[in-house]
């Protein structure tokens, strides 16, 4: 696979990103906290400024979740408050779970990242041979491996690979390989889909803890139910705390062996010398000289973010019930510094003065 261990400031699609960035997204007077109390206040100020009814946050460090909190209201009709354990629709954060399962299959000798996708009955017209790693890295468009183009619809096909190899489904393999072994019972397929049945959890109880999704339109929050879908690219739900716990297990090498985890963090070297902002299921870049591994999720009524700083053992998770944690920032271009939420964590905790418990 064509990869490069050198990390860089991503230049792909910068012009497009600058067009779509909202001026309002940078209107906060300060995005740097000097202590944990200030960080707490700034997160809620950013939530209110972004018109998000509910946000739940978790920070992991030193092999544990050291701080978590819910802000605002998870359901405006019932006035149910958000908590650290409130579950949200995760959108594209789903990809980090499917990527983990695929890498497990590689470790087990059941899958090669170099295999053509045609071997699994996946037929996508292309001028070249599309391989597994092309789908995992969003480099299958045009000549495979020639350009990065974020495409969730193509990533979805990787669920077929999981099914063909295991004889199960993405949902059953997630439950068997990740949810149950690590007791992550606040991460599950969309409860409005049959895939949720694989968990054995109480659907009514699980849905009662799920944040209601909203669009912010002309000064009002409009309830907007997400589509009843679940596949390898989107449709997972989860809590900030359990996602942080997943991240910790990943850091310990318990979910994916360290050699494959690190391989997934290496940005793809493209055919004509450029470097992609994406590895295998993760965005990857340098921020102020520090390696940052991250992903986001986005739909019209949901948005999510995970930011990992592996060399410091830090993880930040933020989940919201509108699109405002993601949409204003054009994150598909692969520049974490465009996100006010990510900068608040990075500049306050990683490079700032905030000391965690």
Residue 12: the pLDDT is 30
On whether the 14-94+186-350 domain is CATH 3.40.710.10, my answer is: yes
- Assess whether pLDDT exceeds 90 at residue 6: no
Residue 31: the pLDDT is 86
Q: What are the domain boundaries of the chain?
A: 14-94+186-350
Model confidence pLDDT, tens digit, residues 176-197: 999 999 999 999 999 999 999 9
Residue 30: the pLDDT is 60
Q: Encoding tokens for residue 205?
A: 């109880």
Q: Mean pLDDT, the chain, as a whole number?
A: 92
Please give the average per-residue pLDDT across 98-104, as a whole number: 98
Please give the average per-residue pLDDT across 237-260, as a whole number: 98
- Assess whether pLDDT exceeds 70 at residue 4: no
Model confidence pLDDT, tens digit, residues 8-44: 222 233 223 332 333 333 444 468 999 999 999 999 9
Please give the average per-residue pLDDT across 263-268, as a whole number: 97
Q: Which long-range contacts (CB under 8 A, 24 or more apart) does 71-79 make?
A: 71/43, 71/44, 71/47, 72/44, 72/47, 72/48, 74/211, 74/212, 74/321, 75/211, 75/212, 76/212, 76/214, 76/221, 76/223, 77/212, 77/223
Q: What is the pTM of this model?
A: 0.92
- Assess whether pLDDT exceeds 50 at residue 5: no
Q: Phi then psi for 208, rounded to 5 degrees?
A: -65, -20
- Assess whether pLDDT exceeds 60 at residue 265: yes
Percent of the chain at pLDDT above 90?
90
């Amino acid at each position: 696979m064509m990869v490069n261990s050198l990390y860089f400031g991503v230049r792909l699609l910068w012009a497009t990103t600058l067009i779509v960035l909202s001026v309002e997204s940078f209107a906060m007077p300060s995005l740097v906290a000097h202590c944990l109390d200030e960080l707490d206040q700034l997160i809620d100020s950013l939530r209110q400024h972004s018109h998000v009814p509910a946000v739940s946050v978790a920070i992991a460090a030193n092999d544990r979740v050291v701080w978590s909190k819910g802000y605002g209201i998870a359901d405006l009709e019932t006035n149910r408050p958000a908590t650290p354990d409130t579950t949200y629709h995760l959108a594209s954060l789903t990809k980090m779970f499917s990527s983990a399962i695929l890498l497990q299959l590689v470790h087990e000798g059941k899958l090669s990242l170099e295999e053509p996708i045609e071997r699994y009955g996946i037929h996508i017209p292309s001028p070249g041979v599309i391989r597994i790693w092309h789908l995992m890295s969003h480099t299958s468009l045009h000549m495979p491996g020639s350009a990065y183009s974020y495409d969730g619809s193509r990533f979805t096909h990787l669920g077929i690979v999981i099914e063909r190899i295991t004889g199960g489904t993405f949902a059953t393999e997630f439950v068997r390989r990740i949810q149950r072994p690590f007791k992550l019972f606040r991460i599950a397929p969309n409860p409005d889909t049959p895939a949720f049945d694989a968990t054995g959890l109480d659907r009514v109880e699980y849905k009662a803890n799920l944040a209601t999704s909203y669009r912010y339109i002309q000064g009002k929050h409009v309830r907007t139910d997400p589509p009843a879908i679940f596949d390898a690219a989107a449709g997972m739900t989860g809590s900030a705390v359990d996602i942080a716990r997943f991240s910790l297990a990943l850091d310990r090498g318990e979910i994916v062996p360290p050699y494959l985890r690190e391989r997934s963090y290496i940005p793809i070297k493209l055919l004509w010398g450029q470097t992609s902002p994406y590895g295998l299921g993760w965005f990857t870049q340098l921020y102020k000289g520090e390696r940052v591994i991250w992903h986001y999720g986005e739909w019209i009524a949901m948005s999510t973010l995970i930011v990992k700083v592996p060399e410091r053992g830090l993880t930040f998770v933020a989940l919201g019930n509108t699109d405002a944690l993601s949409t204003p920032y054009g994150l598909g271009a692969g520049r974490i510094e465009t996100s006010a939420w990510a900068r608040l964590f990075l500049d306050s905790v990683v490079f700032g003065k905030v000391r965690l418990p």
